[in-house]
Structure 1
Amino acid sequence: MKTLFKNISALKWLAAYLLGFIFISFYSCDNSPSNQTNSAYLGGEIVNPTSEYIVLQKNGKILDSIRLDDRNRFSYRIDSVQQGIYSFGHRPEIQHFYISPGDSLLIRANTLAFDESLHFSGTGEAENNFITEMFLLDEANADLLLSFYKTSPSEFLKQTDSIKRNRLEHLERLKVKKKFSPEFVTLAEKIINYESYDLKERYIYLISKYYTEYQQKLPDNFYEYRKNVVFNDTSLQETAAYKRFIENYLTNKSLELCKRTHKDHEECFDRANTKNILNRIKMVGDLIKIPSLKNHFLLKLGAKGIVLARSREDIKVILEALRKNGFPEDQVKDMEQLGTIQLAYLPGTEIKDVPLINTKEEFVPFLNIVDKPTIIFLWSIYKDGHQEDHKLIQELRRKYPEINFVGINLDIDETTAWKIAVQKYNYNKDFEYQLGQTQINKRFFQYYLNKLLFLDDAGKVVIGDAFINSPEFESRILEFLNR
């Protein structure tokens, strides 16, 4: 058996090597000195693609869309390449990569396990495989934190310092073996530092909420790392570790502010609270000066504030805060579309004129699907977890036959793909519909993929703030039935 695994591993390595060799050889025909100096080549393969394109980005701006060929491969020359972090998106995934002038980098990924299958080869492969390895380790630490946040601050620091030290030592070994450039080593050290800072921010939040006695045991120098934070580091603005640290830092600073001004500390931990979101929006406006990074956080916070808004007034103040803190006006208009969707989730709203399509591709009036108390759940073929969601809904259908559980697919204009998914996963066609054409851009519906609508038999919203992945989901159903 061990021999078999070794042979398979060798074959996979050989396939990746040959593919990289073909790719690099293909482009070696262009021997223009200027191209070799100022350009870089990017190519590869997407296994089980979910769209026909790869989207290339730098510093939050789309540089180009790259079409996959009939073998799901792509190739592209980046002219006047800037050394540093770029990103490529393949719906719904996005991944970062490091590239320098003269590199010929090959990427291979399988959408069924995108991060885990991601592999780089060619010039620049060592740097990118190192970044990917660090990213996966950091993701694993998110789970690890749940096990050791209950430890004392001294023990926590011992473990996190050990993680950081091991990664820096690993980098030190590789920089000699793989001949990393000084610029890449500096970037990698920064990423490792911010991953460590982020662990501390998450620990602060968890002990503040669940183990307040540990707050009194924090050493005097625990927060010293915050003095080293640079909120506008252009070399890091594309990296996940940097963005995640800033997000958790904003959460903790908002929590500290709330505790100073609010008697009910429990409410301070409500990240969906409009006042808390407004505090974070203001901090982004004050702290972040890089336009793309600033817009990233304003978009994220603005969308959260609107999707969780409990009134028209909440929506209005979120939009005003975005404008006041420099969110571009065209993107504020986008948020207004999101606000239009949210209005339909406010209790008391009557849902009528929503276009639906059944699996026979017939248009169905919305009120035709509401002949008794109804719970609407939204899903997309591109969102991981829709099979688990449907399994849960099927169990609830058996448990609560007095309620209609209706699935509405949000992949507008992709009726064939939706019908194939319904058939493939054996979803109940009697309760499956697709949203028809609307004046709202379909990309805004992605924010509602976990949100539920509880309607009475007249189509009026009773509950609009429940989520399918919430542990309170079933208690909300009982609340709905006993109203």
Structure 2
Amino acid sequence: MKLYFTITCILLTLLSCKKDKKDTIALDYAYIGGEIINPNTKYIVLSKDETVIDTVDLDGRNRFIYKIDKLNDGLYTFRHGGEYQLILLEQEDSLLLRLNTLDFDESLVYSGNGGKKNNYFINEFIKNEGEEKYIVELCQLDGETFQKRVDSIKASKEKALENFANKYEPSQLFLRIAKANIDYSYYSSKEAYPFMHYGKNKAAVLKSLPDNFYDYRKDINYNDSFLIHNFNYNKFLRSNFNNLTLETHDKHETNACYDRKSLCYNLDRLKLIDSLILNPTIKDDLLYHFTMGYLSRNKNIADNSKLLKSYLEKSKSEKGKKMMSRYTINSNVLKEGSRIPNIKIINYKNNVLSLASQINSPTVLSFWSHKYRKHFKETHFKLKELKIKYPEVTFITINMDDSDLSKSKKFLESNGFYSAEEFKFKNPEESLDILAIYPMTKTILVDKNKKIVNSNTNLFSVHFEEQLLGLINR
């Protein structure tokens, strides 16, 4: 609390001195400062729209303060130890934050000028995370009842925003972002309904919905540059294109049903994105997301080539096209029966080893990153369970980050997961490429002869233990 008091006094003094000179001139800079408890690194990274502004060092007490000159009002990102969160900064803000890395989002609190609006956003973010499971439950209701329930949730959020606005009189920028978060969270829930609903025939589920279920679509801006980096907007677009594609797919495929593995469905989706999206950033993001999702699951080389061709014809991102082409080649190489690539890994005694040398029994390869703490914990708890049930299997877990070895070791130890089967890639970028690691949940099964049995499964799949028994019995 001494830090907060000291920095607040300094900032208030600076701001009030400036205002005394000329009250009518708005400041074109802002301050951000704070304290990181249990830091994973000695710095934070501040960025805007994926462009890094600066790396800010923590002092001896794990505190920092930073001035942003010529501030452009809007959402900024601060990152620390693989975790990140968005903050809204506007001219004249002097924002302070405090967090504990052991419980990053839940412990995050703001104070100072700009604190109230950012506390609003972090509280909404945490509520939305908890709301996701409830929405899945609601999706099992009939369409009309579901609509009433989500309408009620939206109305409650709008009332809370109205109360906040009446009390604190925030800027129009804040209100625009907050309203967009509410709207697109609501739209995403409705777009997800057919796919979360228990019915297998998704086209039939769509046809059963009330006539006004998707009335909001007529007001959607598919090229909203203001919301390019908004999580709820992007989540909505992905779900929306699943729906729209299903509707177009149903028109030319008899008895069409939702099958994300269907080449025809995926080709239709890329075509629809290309026709509706004009903004190159939004278009390339959607094309990349859906193409990568298909290629990461599909093992038919001919179909992969057809979808890749469609992607290359539509994307304008040269970087994306190079990455997708390389990924497709490497995915096709990792077919069943091929030998596991001889990638270099490092153990936590700092010894460089070959991956193949560590495989002398049925083996499960899984991967993790500091950036995805929830996945890290869920994966390691699952592995603990599997190691007890299947002692004849070797479970090798590899950190994917391009970071210091001691950082990963400390992270494993602090969470109680350190073991002899934990490694890091010696050359992360090259290794991720060769093993075509996407998505993060990808798991590779290898037999005792170092031959790939399954190049892309998932620890949490309902079929995983069946696949594991097949590996053991080979």
TM-score range, shorter chain: 0.7 to 0.9
Superposed displacement of residue 249, structure 1: 0.7
2-structure distance, mates of 1:155, 1:259: 26
- The change in CA–CA distance for 1:459 and 1:174 in structure 2 (over 3 A counts) is same
2:194 touches 2:205 (CA, 8 Å); kept in 1?
A: no
Superposed displacement of residue 46, structure 1: 2.9
Q: Which residue of 2 aligns with 1:371?
A: 360
1-structure distance, mates of 2:250, 2:14: 59
SS at match of 1:222: coil
1-structure distance, mates of 2:6, 2:274: 46
SS at match of 2:226: coil
Q: 1:95 aligns with which of 79, 85, 88?
A: 85
SS at match of 1:94: strand
2-structure distance, mates of 1:224, 1:358: 56
Q: 1:245 aligns with which of 210, 233, 236?
A: 236
1:255 touches 1:269 (CA, 8 Å); kept in 2?
A: no
Structure 1 residue 131 and structure 2 residue 121: aligned? yes
Superimposed CA distance per residue, residues 164-198 of structure 1 (whole angstroms, 9 cap, x where no aligned partner): 22222222222121012334323322332222211
- The change in CA–CA distance for 1:172 and 1:211 in structure 2 (over 3 A counts) is farther
Superposed displacement of residue 446, structure 1: 6.6
1-structure distance, mates of 2:392, 2:398: 19
Q: Which residue of 1 aligns with 2:396?
A: 406
**What one-letter code is carried by the residue in structure 1 that aligns with 2:82?**
P
1-structure distance, mates of 2:467, 2:429: 31
SS at match of 1:474: helix
Q: Which residue of 2 aligns with 1:11?
A: none
2:42 touches 2:57 (CA, 8 Å); kept in 1?
A: yes
2-structure distance, mates of 1:183, 1:401: 56
Q: Which residue of 2 aligns with 1:417?
A: 407
Superimposed CA distance per residue, residues 386-445 of structure 1 (whole angstroms, 9 cap, x where no aligned partner): 344334334433433443322233345532233445555665744333322366176997
SS at match of 2:149: helix
**What one-letter code is carried by the residue in structure 2 that aligns with 1:190?**
A
Q: 1:112 aligns with which of 91, 94, 102?
A: 102
Structure 1 residue 257 and structure 2 residue 248: aligned? yes
Q: 2:421 aligns with which of 411, 418, 431?
A: 431
- The change in CA–CA distance for 1:73 and 1:207 in structure 2 (over 3 A counts) is same
TM-score, length basis structure 2:
0.85
1:355 touches 1:363 (CA, 8 Å); kept in 2?
A: yes
1:187 touches 1:235 (CA, 8 Å); kept in 2?
A: no
Structure 1 residue 144 and structure 2 residue 134: aligned? yes
1-structure distance, mates of 2:6, 2:133: 35
Identity of aligned residues (%): 28
Superposed displacement of residue 17, structure 1: 5.4
Q: Which residue of 2 aligns with 1:301?
A: 290
Structure 1 residue 463 and structure 2 residue 450: aligned? no
Q: Which residue of 2 aligns with 1:219?
A: 210
**What one-letter code is carried by the residue in structure 2 that aligns with 1:179?**
E
**What one-letter code is carried by the residue in structure 2 that aligns with 1:200?**
K
Q: Which residue of 1 aligns with 2:339?
A: 350
Report which stretch shifted further, 160-169 or 306-315. 306-315
Q: 1:288 aligns with which of 277, 301, 305?
A: 277
- The change in CA–CA distance for 1:438 and 1:208 in structure 2 (over 3 A counts) is closer
SS at match of 2:88: strand
Task: Please list every run of 5 or more consecutive structure 2 residues that lacks an aligned counterpart in the other structure.
Answer: none
SS at match of 1:478: helix
* Number of residue-to-residue matches in the alignment: 468
Q: 2:11 aligns with which of 12, 18, 24?
A: 24
1:410 touches 1:445 (CA, 8 Å); kept in 2?
A: no
Q: Which residue of 1 aligns with 2:472?
A: 481
SS at match of 1:163: helix
Superimposed CA distance per residue, residues 99-155 of structure 1 (whole angstroms, 9 cap, x where no aligned partner): 222222223333322222222222222222222233233222211112222222222
1:207 touches 1:215 (CA, 8 Å); kept in 2?
A: no
Superposed displacement of residue 223, structure 1: 1.4
Report which stretch shifted further, 99-108 or 337-346. 337-346
Q: Which residue of 1 aligns with 2:315?
A: 326
Superposed displacement of residue 368, structure 1: 2.4
**What one-letter code is carried by the residue in structure 2 that aligns with 1:329?**
E
Superimposed CA distance per residue, residues 38-90 of structure 1 (whole angstroms, 9 cap, x where no aligned partner): 22222223333333443333334333333333333333333332333333333
Superposed displacement of residue 161, structure 1: 1.6
1-structure distance, mates of 2:6, 2:437: 36
1-structure distance, mates of 2:25, 2:289: 38
1:345 touches 1:465 (CA, 8 Å); kept in 2?
A: no
Superposed displacement of residue 474, structure 1: 0.4
Task: Please list every run of 5 or more consecutive structure 1 residues that lacks an aligned counterpart in the other structure.
Answer: 1-13
Structure 1 residue 58 and structure 2 residue 45: aligned? no
2-structure distance, mates of 1:53, 1:318: 42
1:232 touches 1:290 (CA, 8 Å); kept in 2?
A: yes
1-structure distance, mates of 2:159, 2:231: 21
Report which stretch shifted further, 15-24 or 46-55. 15-24
Superposed displacement of residue 461, structure 1: 0.8
1:96 touches 1:238 (CA, 8 Å); kept in 2?
A: no
2-structure distance, mates of 1:239, 1:189: 12
Superimposed CA distance per residue, residues 364-399 of structure 1 (whole angstroms, 9 cap, x where no aligned partner): 333322223322222345542434433433443343
**What one-letter code is carried by the residue in structure 1 that aligns with 2:227?**
L
Superposed displacement of residue 222, structure 1: 1.5
Q: Which residue of 2 aligns with 1:77?
A: 67
2-structure distance, mates of 1:281, 1:147: 30
**What one-letter code is carried by the residue in structure 2 that aligns with 1:470?**
S
Superposed displacement of residue 343, structure 1: 4.5
Superimposed CA distance per residue, residues 214-272 of structure 1 (whole angstroms, 9 cap, x where no aligned partner): 64542222211101111222332232221111121112222323333445645x233x5
TM-score, length basis structure 1:
0.84
1-structure distance, mates of 2:3, 2:201: 49
**What one-letter code is carried by the residue in structure 1 that aligns with 2:445?**
F
Structure 1 residue 205 and structure 2 residue 195: aligned? yes
2-structure distance, mates of 1:378, 1:419: 15
**What one-letter code is carried by the residue in structure 2 that aligns with 1:378?**
F
- The change in CA–CA distance for 1:396 and 1:132 in structure 2 (over 3 A counts) is closer
1:463 touches 1:480 (CA, 8 Å); kept in 2?
A: no
1:337 touches 1:440 (CA, 8 Å); kept in 2?
A: no
- The change in CA–CA distance for 1:363 and 1:186 in structure 2 (over 3 A counts) is closer
**What one-letter code is carried by the residue in structure 2 that aligns with 1:332?**
K
- The change in CA–CA distance for 1:392 and 1:198 in structure 2 (over 3 A counts) is closer
